Structure 1
Amino acid sequence: MSLGALRPSPLVEQATDHLREQITDGEWGVGTKLPGESTLAKSLGVGRSTVREALRALAGAGLVQARQGAGVFVIATEPRENWSAQLRQAAITDVYEVRMLIEVEAAQLAARRRTDHDVVALLDVLAKRREAAQQGNAEFVVADIALHRAVVAAAHNPVLTGLFTEFIPVLQQRLLDLVELFNLRFDDPNHGEEGHAALVEAVVQGDPEAAGQALRDELERTLELLRSL
């Protein structure tokens, strides 16, 4: 069964949506073993790491369960709760407060657990965020979220990764609205460069306190803007 190739970005949430659709539409019933990561990655046109994150998000929604040595199985065709809908309806200040709880902890864990591969990935997404500063708001927001996603991934905690993946769609839209509402990039196309560079540096250097503080400072500045509305 071909699932159809995906657009280049953002991949994880697209993969999650495609796989969720297969389950909720009944194409993969309860008890069905999903194809392996390599097969799903080829069908979706993404890497295995993207499929892995998508499966973690589906597991967090109560749709699938990984069984050691056996594979990933469908355990429900409807999510435990419509978490994505709740996020879309939530006040942006509430979303950012929860985001701070998730990401600050993730940044501290990332500084303790990052691997050489994570370091390469973090430096790459920071460079791409800088490149995106020369592009439009939508491209810049996607690049910004990709950096935060890389920090969360470096924490190597599947629950944190799943939670953050669920936040991504609403974050992307709300962050784009924020950038445009306050015209944040008018005088500074690479808005937030100093804070993001400090965050990446702290994780790379293995400094949990500095990593958590860098992210906390960034998100608190955003919350101040939101509360000024």
Structure 2
Amino acid sequence: MPLGAVRPSPLVEQAAARLREQITGGHWPVGTKLPGETTLAKELGVGRSTVREALRALAGAGLVQPRQGAGVFVLAAEPVDDWPTRLRRAAVTDVYEVRMAVEVHAARLAARRRTPDDIAALRAALEGRRAASTADDAAFVDADIAFHAAVITAAHNPVLADLFTEFTPVLREGLIELLTLTGLRAHDPNTSDDAHEALVRAVAEGDAEAAAEVVRGELEDPFAPAQGPSAPAGDPE
């Protein structure tokens, strides 16, 4: 089937979409060599530079692969989802399970590696969380996530930090929705403050296992009633 000329803007996105349709529709099966840039540019009604950028986008999606001196070949019939895309499609419960693994270990590392600046940042984040207790659920969740991000930062592991940053948007949406549905903060606007204070204390004292246990206690059953003063549950996370 003919490709058909694209509209003026945005040319690269439109060209990439047209080429993607040809690949996913089976017009160019896996292993097929694509027509040259000049041919594609003529069929699409765009310049060669636009085609080149469109092919780069398809290569980034795992659909095509350029081979030096041979041309561009179809590598897959369906795009390969990147990590952010997969996270956006993930269930919040799945993200939460990963968060458990990341944050428990991060709390342990934070207690071992924290600096005076880290402790100051944790205490400031705790106060920020408390100040947000009078705000709406979205603002409170933002302050709560900022607190946990400070713990991650204190772990001084860039890979853990990147993981937390990647799944934070999905987590944020899920937490706001859960707070809205459960009305958890109606009776306790600053829910789980004791646990967060205990976490700051454990990190500041360098007690790695205590810090890990506080986080584990929070995240295992975030909507359960508090179980004790050392690590009560009930965190909105």
User: Per the alignment, do residues 198 and 84 of structure 1 end up closer, same or farther by CA in structure 2, a change over 3 Å counting?
Assistant: same
TM-score (norm 2): 0.60
The letter of the residue matching 1:89 is: R
CA RMSD of aligned residues (A): 2.2
How big is the shift at 1:82? Answer: 2.0
Match of 1:176 in 2: 176
Residues in 2 aligned to 1:126 and 1:155: alpha-carbon distance in whole angstroms? 17
Matches within 5 A, 1:15-94: 81-94=81-94
Q: Per the alignment, in what secondary structure is the counterpart of residue 156 of structure 1?
A: coil
Q: Report the counterpart of residue 11 of structure 1 in structure 2.
A: none
The answer on 1:137 being equivalent to 2:141 is no
- Structure 1 CA distance for aligned equivalents of residues 95 and 223 of structure 2: 10
Partner Cα distance (1:221, 1:168) in 2: 19
Aligned to 1:13: none
Q: Which residue matches 2:56? A: none
Aligned equivalents of 2:111, 2:203: Cα separation in 1? 4
Q: Whole-Å Cα distance in 2 between the matches of residues 193 and 224 of structure 1? A: 14
| Counterpart secondary structure, 2:184 | coil
Structure 1: 5+ residue runs without aligned partners? 1-24, 26-75
- 1:200 match: 200
Alpha-carbon distance in structure 1 between the residues aligned to 2:201 and 2:191: 17
Please identify runs of 4+ aligned residues in structure 1 that moved more than 6 A: 76-80
- 8 A contact 1:107–1:212 mirrored in 2: yes
Kindly indicate whether the alpha-carbon contact (under 8 Å) linking 1:106 and 1:151 is maintained by their aligned counterparts in 2: yes
Take 1:88 and 1:136, find their aligned partners in 2: how far apart are those partners?
A: 24
Matched residue SS, 1:185: helix
Q: Secondary structure at the match of 2:123?
A: helix
AA aligned opposite 2:185? R
Sequence identity, in percent? 53
1:89 to partner: Cα distance: 1.8
Aligned-pair distance for 1:93? 1.7
One-letter identity of the residue aligned with 1:139 = A
- Cα contact 1:202–1:208 (8 A) shared by 2: yes
Q: How many residues align?
A: 152
What letter matches 1:125 in structure 2?
Answer: A
Instruction: Rate the CA distance shift 1:189–1:223 in 2: closer, same or farther, 3 A.
Output: closer
Aligned to 2:112: 112
Give 1 or 2 for the bigger CA radius of gyration: 2
Deviation at residue 138 of structure 1 after TM alignment: 0.8
Shift of 1:77: 6.2
What is the rounded CA distance, in whole Å, between the counterparts of 1:212 and 1:199 in structure 2?
A: 8
In 1, the alpha carbon distance for the partners of 2:120 and 2:150 equals: 10
Deviates more, 1:142-151 or 1:86-95: 86-95
Kindly indicate whether residue 148 of structure 2 is the aligned counterpart of residue 158 of structure 1: no
Instruction: Determine if contact 1:179/1:185 at 8 Å carries over to the other structure.
Output: yes
Task: Output the amino acid matched with 1:106.
Answer: A
CA contact (8 A) 1:93 1:223 kept: no
Which position in structure 1 is the counterpart of 2:147?
147
In 2, Cα distance between equivalents of 1:207 and 1:93: 29
Aligned partners of 2:88 and 2:180: how far apart in 1? 19
